[in-house]
Structure 1
Amino acid sequence: MITERSQSIPGMWPYIMSMAKQNGLNTVQTYVFWNIHEQKRDTYDFSGRANLSQFLQDAANAGLFVNLRIGPYVCAEWDYG
């Protein structure tokens, strides 16, 4: 299951994770779009939808593994991948 943190609300992550687990999944996958975390050079943001550590903790709390798709290129659907 691919969960795009940038397109979901952090408050929904525990529910999404629990539904994944209840439906028999053991792993979720998410992209790490660096241009969300560093929108301005040398200024980093890991809050809200960019809160990677919270996403990982929510997955761990649900008993799920996480496959991080880290860059520099993560997918063709996102500008500059």
Structure 2
Amino acid sequence: MAKKYVCPKCLKGKFEYLEVSSNGSVYSFTDIHIAPAEFADIAPYTIALIQLDEANVKVTARVNTPVQIGEKVELEKMDKGAYIYKRISG
């Protein structure tokens, strides 16, 4: 059976793409030391929950630089469909 996505608030299945900022701040993070097989070659690595600027949206992403909660980050690149963020200098 195919998955059907619905809005958790209005329960409708219509969605639209929305341009959002690629910058945000670290909402939470954790370090992964024992990774699934497909990511074992990059362990240890950090996964963060990023609160995007100008939108009520959070994304899960890998972070290539050490971060702290509340720190500003920006999208560095996409890698195999995954978001990779880095800390904003300054």
Shorter-chain TM-score range: under 0.3
Where is the strand percentage greater, Structure 1 or Structure 2? Answer: 2
**TM-score, length-scaled by structure 1:** 0.21
Higher relative contact order (CA 8 A, sep 6+): 1
User: What is the TM-score with the length of structure 2 in the denominator?
Assistant: 0.20
